[in-house]
């Protein structure tokens, strides 16, 4: 390849054929040197795999084992172009901006097959744009190891410990209510997964499940994490149950409609991962990831795929170390999901709260 320079005022990037098989790229000299030295030039050919903000926080975390597989097998540095840089640290990776000029010549991947994964490893610059792919056996081996890399900002860690530690042997039950991009049902008195795979669970079901959990375990307090409950709905839960929440100081403004929450999602993620029980939102990775990839094994309670207000029902699963496919199959296919007739049938839990992993 031959490279020609033009004055900085000439801001057109173009290519014209000189000889058969030869191209001349005409670019501004200022831009060339920025690209050359930012990407490494001839002096620094370090391989990098960038994870981009292609989805919400927990989907990106779920996809990280693929990035660390590239690091382990091919030596790529893992770089996170994520907005949560101030509140989250991931050991073995660094946060960094992916600039437009760094994308030149990069290979993008979303769900590479095992063979494609092996081929991609030869390339110097990779950009992750999707959740799945890679070699399944390697992803499983790296799944919990990747979760163990996560660290919470010390400022938020001190805040979380101050909230949880004084609770002693009280069982802290996480309650994750997802609204936002989840669709409301056509009947307020019915939850039906067949309406939409991302259907909102009515508040009456959470009240039912929280009541059953209180009867079963007695000494409990609930940690509420949500996006989209109204002030009246929040007040209703506070009136009925012992409840704590994170401060409403979320600094993030996600581009995806429906992902906005009042509390800091990184702080909520770590708090839910400290709970031995999570009453969750079906199909949501924000229920799945703290329960199955962080902390200690967690009992997750969900509604049945169809349940009525007049006769609400629930079930539970325990999937610690299992990925998103196993989580989706619990309610969608009924795999490793155990319906119960009442809270009395819920199993024992091994700890009131898990803070030692932090």
pLDDT digits (tens, 9 = 90+) for 228-244: 899 999 999 999 999 99
Rounded to two decimals, the pTM is: 0.87
Q: Is the dihedral of CA 131, 134, 140, 146 positive or negative?
A: negative
- Calpha distance 267→312 (Å, rounded): 31
SS3 category, 17 = strand
Would you kindly state where each structural domain of the chain is located, as residue ranges? 46-151, 153-345
- What local confidence, expressed as pLDDT, does residue 260 receive? 81
- What local confidence, expressed as pLDDT, does residue 9 receive? 36
**Which residues does residue 211 pair with via DSSP β-bridges, in sequence order?**
none
- β strands within 117-239, DSSP E: 125-128, 150-152, 171-178, 190-192, 220-227
Q: Other C-beta atoms within 10 Å of 105: how many?
A: 10
- Calpha distance 223→211 (Å, rounded): 14
**CATH fold label, 153-345:** Rossmann fold (3.40.50)
Q: Considering only CA atoms, which of 339, 319, 321, 320 is closest in space to residue 329?
A: 319
Per-residue pLDDT of the chain (358 residues; tens, 9 = 90+): 333 333 333 333 333 333 343 334 444 544 444 444 444 443 336 999 999 999 999 999 999 999 999 999 999 999 999 999 999 999 999 999 999 998 999 999 999 999 999 999 999 999 999 989 999 999 999 999 999 999 999 999 999 999 999 999 999 999 999 998 888 888 999 999 888 888 899 999 999 999 999 999 999 999 999 998 999 999 999 999 999 999 999 898 877 666 688 999 999 999 999 999 999 999 999 999 999 999 999 999 999 999 999 999 999 999 999 999 999 999 989 999 999 999 999 999 999 999 999 9
Give first-to-last CA distance, the chain, whole Å: 51
């Amino acid at each position: 390849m031959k490279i020609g320079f033009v004055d900085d005022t000439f801001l057109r990037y173009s290519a014209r054929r000189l000889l058969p098989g030869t191209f001349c790229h005409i670019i501004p000299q200022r831009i060339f040197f920025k690209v050359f030295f930012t990407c490494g030039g001839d002096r620094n050919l370090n391989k990098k795999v960038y994870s981009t903000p292609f989805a919400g926080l927990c989907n990106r975390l779920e996809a990280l084992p693929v990035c660390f597989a590239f690091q382990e097998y091919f030596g790529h540095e893992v770089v996170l172009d994520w907005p949560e840089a101030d509140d989250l640290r991931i050991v073995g990776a660094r946060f960094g901006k992916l600039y437009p000029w760094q994308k030149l010549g990069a290979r993008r991947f979303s769900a590479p097959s095992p063979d494609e994964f092996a081929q991609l490893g030869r390339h110097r610059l990779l950009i992750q744009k999707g959740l799945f792919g890679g070699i399944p056996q390697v992803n499983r081996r790296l799944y919990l190891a990747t979760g163990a890399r996560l660290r919470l900002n010390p400022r938020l860690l001190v805040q979380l410990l101050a909230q949880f530690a004084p609770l002693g042997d009280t069982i802290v039950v996480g309650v994750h209510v997802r609204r936002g991009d989840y669709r409301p049902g056509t009947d307020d008195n019915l939850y039906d997964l067949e309406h939409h795979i991302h259907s909102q669970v009515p508040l009456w079901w959470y009240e039912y499940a929280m009541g059953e959990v209180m009867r079963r375990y007695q000494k409990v307090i609930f940690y509420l994490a949500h996006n989209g409950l109204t002030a009246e709905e929040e007040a209703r839960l506070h009136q009925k149950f012992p409840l704590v929440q994170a401060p409403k100081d979320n600094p993030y403004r996600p581009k995806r409609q429906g992902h906005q929450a009042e509390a800091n999602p990184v702080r909520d993620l770590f708090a839910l991962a400290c709970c031995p029980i999570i009453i969750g939102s079906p199909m949501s990775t924000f229920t799945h990831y703290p329960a199955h990839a962080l902390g200690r094994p967690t009992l997750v309670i969900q509604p049945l795929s169809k349940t009525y207000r007049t006769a609400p029902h629930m079930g539970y699963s325990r999937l610690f170390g299992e990925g998103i496919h196993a989580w989706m199959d619990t309610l969608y296919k009924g795999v490793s999901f155990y319906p119960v007739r009442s809270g009395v049938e819920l199993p024992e839990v091994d700890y009131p709260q898990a803070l030692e992993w932090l």
